[in-house]
Chain A
């Protein structure tokens, strides 16, 4: 039972990332009909928003502290971050400590802007071109974006720790009435799951309960009619592209304590996210979320030793295997609408 719970928890954090990226991919595909291979790069840019904020907050100046000396007896230089000098050591220290969650505030406008520029500058010229062209140009864009990041931040992973309060592990098993220390789980991964659930809920609520969301959903169902009703659907879809970019970026920001950001992390996630989208059903938002969590959990179950000894190597291929079976037996995916990209 406890192993079972642990595997579900293990699957949740990866599944959350898959679900968030797949959600953005689906938003873009459902609204604009574009297959965006640069979406992984957006996830990566989000992660580097966190890195940037962390670096900004830790910008420091050096002072010589005459009271402390190193082992040679020379006075030591002490680095003080500017924020600590401005806000006092307590507030400033907290700011530095909480850099990753704070980066959300930075990431939302940045990612929206990146999304707008991408859509207006590039993607909009590709609506009428075949899907293969869209794949190719966004693939090229992904290469360019990740190379720019590599040029600025270097090729090595940059560690970005979670706030110290959220760093350790938590006895989850005790919470649900099991014996102590049966199921111990890192806190930040739980935070990530809760965060993902909030973002997903927010996107769904936005689409469901606002007039804007209603128009967008109408546009997804029948773009032409909405246009004929005198609504400038293009403008709203551009905004949705920005929103999708922001969702991917937020997924990246919060993922940084789990995986130190490097420039190719986007590509690594992209392949799996595409599989997730296809399994969930092209253009189906609930499908993308469901498939994201499902595949994440499935993967963590497949990497259990009991399963691995039964079918060696299954943990490596399970996701792809599921995708192949789904594509061959039910091409519109788990929750895809009939007729949308079935062939």
Chain B
């Protein structure tokens, strides 16, 4: 918090300026590290050789990596609203959904190029957020949560029923051969695929090296580039005077009002920004797989974003991305562990014990991964309100204290001696 105070206003003292520089350097480092991780993700997420028994824990396939990046964007956007202002929205899935729908419509009407689709998705997400936010932000706390929830449920119900001409109801909106696609011209033979100026999203190069096999796909790198852009923007927002105002909204709205500042424009701006992030994420989902269904707008999807952000650490830069990664990993990898695999793992145990162990673990893995997720989430909320990032920080502090134990005791003693004198 103090760091932010120093950076947000023009530095008057050399010390403050130095602090700001240090912060800027740290942020650049963070961005660089995230960029490198994103770039190398296809390699890093495939640590096990394809033939090994552990290969099922590899997360380096394009579909999942795209999800990591897309839901990372969604969670970063949610965090700008919830992490900074403390407004808990339970309706973000609505923006994700309309983003998907508008992207698919763009594919149907204009072109299979993803750029217009993503742009329209972002803009539409922002517009929806403007309308919903304008109304919902008149209330705060639990009422705000319920208002956003009500709006999202309305969108969901309407998409399922009367808006079927736009949303194609339960089937979901899909491409078809008869779509006009003004720029591309009518398609012949097979359904066209989404692309970026000719580079198809599904295009991928696979490199095999020893037992390992890595897939580098165009779609993933498009998502990763946008994730980096989103991440960079969120750093800028966190460090800006605007970000400071959002924190002020969270810590004390009354005091803000007494200083002569209205919180509404700031919260509305934050809501619209986070709605645009969600729209972008929705557009990307549709770009990777040109299909949009109403279930993307259901309130459980909103709950998922909340889970991601809290799990990773609300109000931190890296937390939401981390949380999104953990949850998507659980959903796709952890859920695949079935009884046969469990039996394989504990095969060393005697038979009766083996069955017992498998029976105990069984409810927590495979189809029951939600149970594990719920338990972890509860534990985080109860014991670690700062999320995984806070946990890592605490662990780091413990390690550092152990390292520096000896010198710090000495300096402590020195300080005490100085005070005594």
Contacts and interface: CB of A to CB of B under 8 A. Distances in A.
A136 B374 contact: no
A321 B158 CA distance: 12
Contacts of A168: none
Interface in B293-318: 299-300, 303, 306, 310
B153 A341 contact: no
B368 A275 contact: no
A278 B143 contact: yes
Contacts of B145: 135
B303 A132 contact: no
B300 A313 contact: no
A301 interface: no
Contact of A143 (B158, B161, B370): B370
Contact of B158 (A122, A125, A316, A327): A316
A175 to B, nearest CB: 35
Nearest to B375: A144
Contact of A327 (B143, B306, B368, B377): B143
A135 B377 CA distance: 12
Nearest to A144: B374
A274 B382 CA distance: 23
A137 B88 contact: no
Nearest to A151: B363
A43 interface: no
A275 B150 contact: yes
A140 B374 contact: yes
A147 B146 contact: no
B264 interface: no
Contacts of A131: 141-142
Best-surrounded residue of A139, A150, A155 (most CB of chain B within 10 A): A139
Given A143-B374, A316-B157, A137 B381 contact: yes
B138 interface: yes
Given A135-B88, A278-B146, A151 B371 contact: yes
The secondary structure that dominates the A interface is helix
Contacts of B135: 324, 328
A147 B378 contact: no
Contacts of A137: 378, 381-382
Contacts of A61: none
Nearest to B369: A147
A135 B382 contact: no
B146 A132 contact: no
B149 A140 contact: no
A143 B377 contact: yes
A282 B149 CA distance: 17
Interface residues of A, number: 38
A312 B158 CA distance: 10
A180 B141 CA distance: 52
B138 A328 contact: yes
A274 B149 contact: yes
B146 A316 contact: no
A320 B150 contact: yes
Contact of B381 (A35, A140, A321, A341): A140
Contacts of A125: 382
A268 to B, nearest CB: 10
A141 interface: yes
A35 B88 CA distance: 13
Contacts of B147: 323-324, 327
A125 B375 CA distance: 17
A132 B86 CA distance: 8
A343 B371 contact: no
Given A139-B303, A274-B149, A331 B371 contact: no
A108 to B, nearest CB: 27
Contact of B310 (A35, A136, A150, A331): A136
Interface in B18-50: none
Interface string B52-91: 0000000000000000000000000000000000101000
Interface string A313-342: 100110011011001100100000000010
B332 to A, nearest CB: 18
A327 B139 contact: yes
A309 to B, nearest CB: 11
- Interface centre among A35, A135, A143, by most chain B C-beta atoms within 10 angstroms, is A143
A289 interface: no
A299 B371 CA distance: 34
A341 B363 CA distance: 40
A324 B138 CA distance: 11
A140 B299 contact: no
Contacts of A316: 154, 157-158, 160-162
B140 A343 contact: yes
B242 interface: no
Given A133-B385, A271-B299, A275-B150, 6 more contacts: A137-B381, A140-B377, A267-B300, A275-B146, A316-B158, A320-B157
17 contacts: A135-B145, A136-B377, A139-B306, A144-B378, A148-B363, A148-B371, A150-B368, A150-B370, A271-B149, A278-B146, A282-B142, A320-B153, A321-B154, A324-B150, A327-B139, A331-B139, A341-B142
Nearest 5 pairs of A and B residues by beta carbon: A313-B162, A143-B374, A316-B157, A147-B371, A140-B378
Interface of B: 86, 88, 135, 138-143, 145-147, 149-151, 153-154, 157-158, 160-163, 299-300, 303, 306, 310, 363, 367-368, 370-371, 373-375, 377-378, 381-382, 385
Interface of A: 35, 122, 125, 131-133, 135-137, 139-141, 143-144, 147-148, 150-151, 155, 267, 271, 274-275, 278, 282, 312-313, 316-317, 320-321, 323-324, 327-328, 331, 341, 343
